[in-house]
Structure formats: C-alpha cells, structure tokens
Amino acid sequence: MTLPRGARAIMASRREPPTSLDFFPTPPWATRALVEYVLEPNGFEPKLMRAWDPCCGEGHMAETLKESFGDVEASDIFDYGRGYRLADVLETGVIYDNRADLVITNPPFNIALDIALAVLSRWRFEGLFLLMRTSWLESEERYRKLFSFYPPDVFAPFVERVPMVKGRYDPKASSATSYAWIGWMNPETFRASAGPAITFIPPCRKRLETKADIRRWCAPAAAPLFDGAP
C-alpha cells in the first residue's frame, strides 16, 4: 500500500503527551463550522483578524483556522513537536501580553473554567470561543464562578456528533457526546445580550471534512476514505 505523503513523518514525529493533559484533537471540520455558522454571521471578519489557540496540541485547530484568518498564533503547555510556542496560558502575563483579536480553543476540560475566567476578566480580545461538551453548562460551580458574571453571548450546539479520540484525529470514530461552541463577545464592541443566542450548527461534517485532512493528520488507513470528497 502506498502511504499518503508525509504519513511516515507524522508517525515518526508523534510525541505522546502526559495523560493528564486531556489531549483530544479537534476534527478540522468542527473548526470550519465555527467560522461559517458562528463567527461570520456575528459580524467577525476572520481575514482581517488574528486568532490565538492557547491549547493547540498538534495544531489541528490552529492550522485549520489559518484557512480563514489573516494570522493565527498557536501555543501549548506541552511540546508536541510541531514547532508551536511553548506557553502556559494560565501563567501570569501570557494572556495579558497577547495581541490576538479572538481566542479560539478546545481546552482541557479540567482547566476550561480557569481559562475562561482569565480571558474574560481582562477583556483584551474581541471574543472568546470554546469548543466544549454541552454538559459543561450544567454545573453549579461554573454558574457561580463564571456564568452568573459572564453569561455567554453564543451557544452553538452541533446537531450531529463531533467524535474526538484521545491523542489522535480519527475520521472514522463515532461518539455519543454532544459538543457546542460557547462564545463571549467584547461588550465594548458588540451589543450586550440578554443571554446566549442559540445557533444550531446543522449537519455539515460531510461537506466540511476533506481528503486533505486525512492526508495531513491521520496514520495510513486500510482503505480509501471519503470517496468523492474534495
């Protein structure tokens, strides 16, 4: 079998992070859905903006954001061997010194609350968008510490599942877990909302997932995937 170009290099360079980092790569199509169904309808112009993914892992989200944004910065607390900046988003000064317009990330579940509080308490950005399980909204602690002070402006659930696999992107995976983009927009720029506007992200995986994603992010498959996909 002929391996996709770069497949051996990807496999050879893979570094296994500590299990505590909760590394679940974001399927690229879920990031494209954010741009199409959330950012652009809310008046953002990605081509004129700079995005920052502070929990970038191996770059699945950051590299996809580069398709739409004028500039993208990526960093992580762990060196996954992809050349991204090594930085702890919660370390003093890291958020304050960043000059991005939007913070967009799929954070580890156990520090998502801390990241949201750190970003929103400073409001140096035009917006913050987190890809989270929908159950993340169901917490007395998060309500008490976050939502009661900073109710989200956007709640964008996927009506189809977004399968995520620990440590790798697997386009053949399935999941029973529901995910949503949860977003806050700078009140100095955007009119304050009375509560989160629900934006249903319609079925779009088949259209937004591409063969190029497979070649870039996956180990060799036993059979061709996504026949007929661009």
SS percent in the chain: helix, strand, coil, step 5: 30, 15, 50
Query: Does domain 7-14+22-216 fall into CATH 3.90.1260.10?
Result: no
Q: Taking the CB of residue 101, how many other CB atoms lie within 10 A of it?
A: 22
Q: What is the CA radius of gyration of the chain?
A: 17
For the segment 29-87, what is each residue's pLDDT rounded down to a tens digit?
Answer: 999 999 999 999 999 999 999 999 999 999 999 999 999 999 999 999 999 999 999 99
Query: What rounded mean pLDDT belongs to the chain?
Result: 87
Which is more confidently placed, 25 or 20? 25
Report yes or no: 175 and 161 within 8 Å, Cβ to Cβ. yes
Q: Which of 72-76, 99-103, 192-196 has the lowest mean pLDDT?
A: 192-196
Q: How confident is the model at residue 218 (pLDDT cuts 50, 70, 90)?
A: confident
In angstroms, how far is CA 112 from the centroid of its own chain?
Answer: 12
Q: How far apart are CA 182 and CA 13, in angstroms?
A: 33
Q: How confident is the model at residue 12 (pLDDT cuts 50, 70, 90)?
A: very low
Domain spans of the chain, in order of start: 7-14+22-216
pLDDT of residue 195: 57
Q: How far apart are CA 117 and CA 131, in angstroms?
A: 15
Q: What is the pTM of this model?
A: 0.86
